[in-house]
Amino acid sequence: MFVPSVRTKKTSAVGIPTIDLSMQRSELSELAVRACEQYGIFKVVNHRVPKRVLLRLEEEGNRFFSQPVSEKLLASPAAPFGYGSRNIGSHGDVGELEYLLLHTDPQSISQVSKTISSKDPAKFSCAVNEYIEAAREVACEILELVAEGLRIPDKMAISRLIRDAHSDSVLRLNHYPATDPCHDEVVATNSIGFGEHSDPQILTVLRSNDVSGLQISTQDGLWIPVPPDPFEFVVMVGDSLQALTNGRFRSVRHRAVTSGSKSRMSMIFFGAPALNSWITPLPVLLSPHQRPLYKPFTWAQYKQAAYSLALQHARLDLFKAPDSPLLISASP
Ligand code: GA4
């Protein structure tokens, strides 16, 4: 079980790379590949997603989370899709947050919206669908850029997986309540909003309001804060992209801490393949004498493994190829 307190390790304000989508494409694809290899995370600016799309979903999220608990509990539980509070996954992990977890399939959104926003479900589902479409486009554009940078002849080899009509992508709205100012004075430490983990999917596209809290873990165990910007996206490499690139890209370990007098809300698109899709190192990325680091697995198999383990588990290790001396463990 994950213990919800923050280790008081040194943090550093080292910047993470920025990908400016208005730049020249050839330069961009090299930059995106380097960012995925070295950091597993980068910021995306000039993404062309209209501000109103971001603000509309933020407004819907704020409206939902500001209701009394009794109202929020009328939403279907996040098992699998709906409202959850404190409990993360099914393995005893807890955090100082509440959230809405939604499948990106419009039919599922339409069903769950009736329980989340009984007064105006259409308004809620429109804001959600519009945001998902925009975030999915950003994810696909990035995946096509990196495919170019990796010299993969089929530029859509990876993005196609999350454009698939049966894609198992999900959207999550995380709400980290403000720390009570009185409580803040007594306990001068941060607490864990969402414990350390890597995302199991292919690519994560995150947008938050202007409140800090997201941190990434470096190889040497430092925690680096990711400065918030409500009009930028933060993109993170997930475990499945690590496997697809045979370990060339690394999924990034991250966490969210709560520390302030302002509440934080993040809206996160997790781009995943269809449940029956195979995840296996792309053959064009393997040189003749390189062996795959991972056994082939389906997204359903990996998802099941991820969901049955606690947050901090280095789950990709379960799928390493038996004779793979090159495995880079994803554990901290
Ligand atoms: C992390 C990324 C997404 O938020 C998520 C999370 C999921 C959940 O909250 O149910 C998991 C977590 C996430 C990874 C390990 C398992 C599953 C909680 C947990 C302990 C929706 C996802 O896909 O994986």
| Domain boundaries along the sequence of the chain | 10-275
Give residue 324's pLDDT. Answer: 65
The maximal CA–CA distance of the chain, rounded, in angstroms, is: 62
186 Cα: distance to centroid of ligand 1 (angstroms): 32
pLDDT value at residue 261: 86
Q: What is the pLDDT of residue 11?
A: 41
d(CA 217, CA 141): 26
**pLDDT score of 124:** 98
Closest CA to 275 of 251, 248, 254, 304: 304
In this predicted structure, what is the pLDDT of residue 179? 79
Compute the distance from residue 308 Cα to the ligand 1 centre, in Å.
10
Q: What is the distance of C-alpha 208 from the center of its chain?
A: 12
Burial class (CB in 10 A: 0-12, 13-18, 19+), 276: exposed
Q: Residues lining ligand 1, judged by CB closer than 6 Å?
A: 88-89, 91, 93, 101, 170, 172, 197, 199-200, 270, 306-307, 310-311
Cβ–Cβ < 8 Å for 233, 138: yes
Look at ligand 1, atom 11, and give the residue with the nearest C-alpha. Answer: 89
Is position 34 annotated as part of the catalytic site?
Answer: no
Cα(first)–Cα(last) distance of the chain, in Å?
A: 16
Residue whose Cα lies nearest atom 7 of ligand 1: it is: 89
pLDDT score of 189? 60
Which CATH number applies to 10-275? 2.60.120.330
Instruction: List, for the chain, all residue ranges whose pLDDT scores fall below the cut of 70.
Output: 1-14, 180-189, 324-332
Q: What is the distance in A from the centroid of ligand 1 to the CA of 28?
A: 30
Pairwise CA distance, residues 240 & 202, whole Å: 5
pLDDT, residue 288, reads 86
Nearest-CA residue for atom 8 of ligand 1: 89
Can you tell me the distance from the alpha carbon of 195 to that of 313, in angstroms, rounded to the nearest whole number? 11
Q: What is the pLDDT of residue 287?
A: 87
Query: pLDDT tens for residues 16-29?
Result: 999 999 999 889 99
Q: Is residue 132 a contact partner of residue 269, using CB atoms and an 8 Å limit?
A: yes
pLDDT at residue 211 in the model: 96
pLDDT at 181: 59
